[in-house]
Amino acid sequence: MQLDKTGQAALLKLSEIDLSLTKLKSELLELIESKELADLQSKLTVSSGELLTARTEAERLSLMVRRSEEDIRLVEERLARDTERLNTTSSPKDAQAIEREIESLKKRMSDLEDVELNLLTELEASEIVLAEATASRESLNSSLITLQNDIQTQVDVLKAEGRKLTADRQIVVEKITSEVLEQYQRLAARQIAVGKVDDRGCTACRMNLTVGAIENINSIPENELAICPDCQAFLVR
Ligand SMILES: [Zn+2]
């Protein structure tokens, strides 16, 4: 196929640009599908679940403590009322009944205080768990934001590089004939499409060329493209 020296240089450049674009696309994909990011996101989901459980438990215990305090307050009120009645009654029979009730209320009070003490101990422990779960989730969340920003920065750099390569591609493509370009696209879809003869080998397939093959290549006119006998890539001289 015919292609002048400028076109041949452009063809080699085009192949380099396309290889860079392919590499860039796979780098972008790797960044977007980052395993580290996926791991962190799944850890954050677990941590959010743990935080919710810890918060629910602390709220439940806190509610139970309030209820227990209310129970104690009611018993205290009844005790105060009974004590007053005891002091004012003139009937010994009533006084006996009131004294029995006061005894029973004091027993109930002691039981309720035990329950409240246990609840307060549980509440304190659950608040420690909640504080740890909150800190852990915050730390994971901040790591995730840092990683996401880091990935975004790298993605932006790659995209800018991609735009530059695409603009360069536009320029070199114009220097290549449509006939060569079509054959190039067919080759590039499955292999490195353009090479050079370097140290008796083809740089596209890395195979060594025979002396006869090199002589053949050298005998082709300068404005014509040579073909590698091994990989069929265009050989630019
Ligand atoms: Zn080759």
**pLDDT per residue as tens digits for the range 204-213:** 999 999 999 9
- Let me know if residue 48 belongs to a domain: yes
Query: 195 Cβ partners below 8 Å, 6+ apart?
Result: 202, 203, 204, 205, 228, 231, 233, 234, 235, 236
- Percentage of the chain beyond pLDDT 90 is 98
Helices and strands, counts by H and E, the chain: 5, 4
The span from the CA of 150 to the CA of 136, in Å, is 21
Distances (CA, A) of 230 to 12, 98, 202, 209, 233: 18, 112, 8, 8, 8
The span from the CA of 76 to the CA of 82, in Å, is 10
| pLDDT tens track for 166-203 | 999 999 999 999 999 999 999 999 999 999 999 889 99
| pLDDT tens track for 113-129 | 999 999 999 999 999 99
CA 197 to centroid of ligand 1, rounded, Å? 9
Number of domains in the chain: 1
What is the model's pLDDT at position 199? 87
Q: What is the CATH number of the domain that holds 106?
A: 1.10.287.1490
Q: Which of 44, 40, 64, 63 is CA-nearest to residue 52? A: 44
CA 206 to centroid of ligand 1, rounded, Å? 6
CA 205 to centroid of ligand 1, rounded, Å? 4
In the block, which residue shows the tokens 């791991």?
39
| Start-to-end CA span in the chain (Å) | 14
- Let me know if residue 168 belongs to a domain: no
- Let me know if residue 113 belongs to a domain: yes
Q: What is the mean pLDDT of residues 62-80?
A: 98
Which burial class, exposed, middle or buried, applies to 146 when counting CB atoms under 10 A from its CB (0-12, 13-18, 19+)? Answer: exposed
Q: Answer yes or no: are the C-beta atoms of 64 and 108 closer than 8 Å.
A: no
- Let me know if residue 6 belongs to a domain: no
| pLDDT above 90: residue 237 | no
Residues in a beta bridge with 112:
none
Sheet holding 201-202, edge to edge: 201-202, 194-198, 234-236, 226-227
Q: What is the mean pLDDT of residues 1-30?
A: 96
The span from the CA of 113 to the CA of 75, in Å, is 11
Q: What is the pTM of this model?
A: 0.73
- Let me know if residue 148 belongs to a domain: yes
- Let me know if residue 135 belongs to a domain: yes
- Let me know if residue 132 belongs to a domain: yes
CA 227 to centroid of ligand 1, rounded, Å? 8
Q: Which of 205, 164, 207, 209 is CA-nearest to residue 187? A: 205
| pLDDT above 90: residue 99 | yes
Which burial class, exposed, middle or buried, applies to 133 when counting CB atoms under 10 A from its CB (0-12, 13-18, 19+)? Answer: buried
Q: Which residues span the domain enclosing 62? A: 35-152
CA 234 to centroid of ligand 1, rounded, Å? 8
CA 171 to centroid of ligand 1, rounded, Å? 26
Strand-strand pairing, 194-198 and 201-202 = antiparallel
- Let me know if residue 231 belongs to a domain: no
Residues in a beta bridge with 2:
224
